[in-house]
Amino acid sequence: MLRSEDPHLLRGETTYVGNIELENALVVQFVTSTEPHALITSIDVSDARTMPGVVDVVTADDIELDLMPVTLPVYPETARRPVLASERVLFVGQAIAAVVAETEAQAADAIEQIIVEYDPLTPVVSLEDAASDTTILLPDVGTNIMLAQTGGTDGPADFSDCEVVVEAEFMNQRVAPAPLETRTSASMWTDDGRLLQYASCQGVHPLRAGLAAMYGLDESDVRVITADVGGSFGAKIRLYPEDMVLPALARRAGRPVRWTPERTPDMVGMGHSRGQRQRVKIGGDRDGTLKVIDVDLLAHCGAYPEVGAGLARNAAMVQPGPFRMRAHWSVRCVVSNTTPIVAYRGAGRPEGGALIDRAVNRFAAEIGMDQVEIRRKNLLRADELPTTNPSGVFYDSGDYPEALEILVETLGYEQLKIEQEQRRASGSDKQLGIGISTFIDRTAGVPGAEYGSVELVADGRLRVLTGSSPYGQGHYTTWAMLVADRTGVPLDRIDVIHGDTDIVPRGRITGGSRSVQKAGSAIALATDGLVVEARQKAADQLEAPVADVVLDVTSGRFHVVGSPGAASVDWAQIAAVTAEEQAAAREQAAADDRSEYAGLRCEVDYDSEGPTVPYGAYGAVVEVDTATGAVDLVRMLTIDDVGTVVNPMLAIGQVHGGLAQAIGQALYEEFVYDDDANPLTSNFLDYTMPSAAELPSFECHLTEHPSPQNPLGAKGIAESGTIGGVPAVQNAVIDALSHLGVVHLDMPLTPRRVWNAVETATN
């Protein structure tokens, strides 16, 4: 089933925020900090206010807005971020003032005239410096450590029963989500005094709640609309201060305003992700039996604590992955003079997956065991599931060894090992590396129910409302398929509507791979309820007991059981009768003031039994040029199990996207600061990402072990590629150099880093 949402994108009939026609709209640009850590001594906007085309210039003193909300309740109240900085700045890119002008060029010219005077303070960049508390970023908090927790198996980590213990340190580097569409939004006040906000976001209802709280409004007085979103990957879940300022600017100007930053201010203003130092101690026996792992994570929060601690906890809680052993962990999350950390595809689970996969491979190398064999020995078996890991994560269903064996056979692992040995023996400059990753994910962990409704409208069409907010996943196609499968109504007669708080009454976010499990289940259950009501209507028309009436989903018609060729009723006929009943009800309502007839409509707020645990086995094959350090990714093969698959093409498409981003992190991407906390990779000339030319054709396969956690039996798929892809590629590059004595390389595996490792090993 092809994606129904693509044609309008391909034809350019898009409704991105930048495409929306707003009559007499103004543009907004922000003055942002050029200092990473400083006190603000003065802000002079006088010259800017006299510039041509400038309508307004605003600092924190000009608008009365509260601090940004604390994202996680574990953070101190005094760690909240100001909407506009007025006393101190904590990272390059922090918003200080807003310019409202007729054109982008006029706003840019005015910004050049604003003079901000700073009293620089000592910057804090590294995790170790932040954790030392030598320089405190948030004086009212008194420490840079925003969270310190431990968990896992009860009691201290005990390695006394281990024959071999390996200790290692890994860096999971900071990356920028960098969606093609930057952060963007528009605000206006309607004639009836309501706030209308257009947003590029992952959920309109949480944004509505945030705006209402910020401006002291009832939520019914705020309307948020989102339609096409040019990428997000988790970074647009959160509320950005700039979004919060726009309504105030629109109110002051009495005109709509729109904000769309260019790439550089967005690269330093939109949240970053990953950014962890991982220390690991793993123990077991010389026969390859793994027994215990102890993990210490030191993680970036960035300048203000957003969700950094949650990501670090996610990385810790998925330990020990799909393996059979004890697991202990400790987590600290610290603030530094860098862009705040936000969710990015996987939200902690890719960091945790890379950690366990690298740790297992380090242990295997220590005892001289093959990376496949150590997994065969330690993966949880199908008969050991379901089970609960040491941190309370419930592993619901699956067969982890099955996925590994399919991978090994499809990859031709043994033949690749033979070729690898031949290249090593010949002294070839092009060394072959094979990387294996076996991983779990934890999906639908974002709490809260999701909304879905299905309504029968004129001519037998079905109108579907969903609280989910797609930004590329294929929700229109998937939700329509779920409805069509249950009703027999053709896909082109099913309308899916999302992203408007005036039409969809409630909803949450699209994130954490929760959509099919929660929003999809809500729609499926609502459809089932609608069919029950429609059967009663059909029974009335067929003059038969409702128990004797069945729906033929092939034809979309109701008929008496055992008599498919006799009289039948379709959805259009039910809609016509319903319309007549509605008209009669309206007349009656006018006569005696009763509520009008509601028609055929069913809505459901569905919350699952709990998170699900999809899993997979990935294999990467690389050629490493030992003379130059260049890495060529030759093959990328994936085996994923996501429970029941609604649409295989869409599921594999999600794997493709995740793999591309995983390969980007493994080989190319890193957001870098200098020692003074100045960003060095703030545009696409400096921040390297792979293009299609650097990626092989992906070989993707699916298995299906349904989950008992939701009625569809589904698990999430959108983030698996980032979890298995990163360590598979990293393991492959290290494997290519292992005969030289290389046991670990931190990412990204750039030619210089690889070449340095070769030179160090051979000299």
Mean confidence (pLDDT) of the chain: 95
What is the average pLDDT across 7-23? 92
Cβ neighbour number for residue 656 with a 10 Å cutoff: 15
- Does residue 593 surpass a pLDDT of 60? no
**Distance between CA 737 and CA 86 in Å, rounded?**
52
**Top-level class of domain 273-444+610-762:** alpha beta
The full DSSP string for 450-493 is: EEEEEEE-GGG-EEEEES---SSS-HHHHHHHHHHHHH---GGG
Q: What is the pLDDT of residues 477-492, one digit of tens each?
A: 999 999 999 999 999 9
Structure tokens at 581: 């009943």
Length of the chain: 763
Tell me the residue type at 751. Answer: P
CA 286, CA 352: separation in Å to the nearest integer?
25
Alpha helices, DSSP H, located in 549-607:
571-592
Which candidate, 240, 221, 217, 237, places its Cα nearest to that of 229?
237
Residues 628, 636: Cα–Cα separation, whole Å? 22
Q: Which residue has the higher pLDDT, 590 or 494?
A: 494
Handedness of CA 407, 409, 414, 416 (dihedral sign): negative
Residue 717: which of 613, 605, 609, 617 has the closest Cα? 613
Are 341 and 300 within 8 A, CB to CB? yes
Q: Are 706 and 643 in contact (CB under 8 A)?
A: yes
**How far, in Å, CA of 375 to CA of 248, rounded?**
57
Distance in angstroms (rounded) separating the CA atoms of residues 664 and 691: 9
Provide the pairing of β-strand 549-552 with 557-560: antiparallel
Alpha-carbon distance of 141 to 135, in angstroms, equals 12
CA distance 333 to 304: 11
| CATH architecture of the domain covering 450-606 | 2-Layer Sandwich (3.30)
Do the beta carbons of residue 38 and residue 89 sit within 8 Å? yes
Structure tokens belonging to residue 594:
């009763």
| Residue 597 in this model has a pLDDT that exceeds 50 | no
pTM, full prediction: 0.95
**pLDDT one-digit tens code per residue, 172-196:** 999 999 999 999 999 999 999 999 9
Instruction: Please write the tens of the pLDDT for every residue from 100-114.
Output: 999 999 999 999 999
**Segment 269-278 mean pLDDT:** 97
Provide the residue type at 659 as one letter: L
| Number of other CB atoms surrounding residue 129 within 10 Å | 18
Topology of domain 16-121+182-229+236-269, CATH: Aldehyde Oxidoreductase; domain 3 (3.90.1170)
* 414: helix, strand or coil: helix
Compute the average pLDDT of residues 621-648. Answer: 97
Do domains 273-444+610-762 and 450-606 share one topology? The answer is yes
Q: What is the pLDDT of residue 666?
A: 98
- d(CA 243, CA 246) in angstroms, rounded, equals 6
pLDDT band at 582 (very low <50, low <70, confident <90, very high): confident
pLDDT of residue 531: 97
Tokens found for residue 762: 């051979």
What residue ranges do the domains of the chain occupy? 16-121+182-229+236-269, 273-444+610-762, 450-606
Kind of pairing between the strands at 394-395 and 95-101: unpaired
Sorting pLDDT into bands at 50, 70 and 90, what band is 596?
very low
Q: Kindly report, residue by residue over 490-533, the tens digit of the pLDDT.
A: 999 999 999 999 999 999 999 999 999 999 999 999 999 999 99
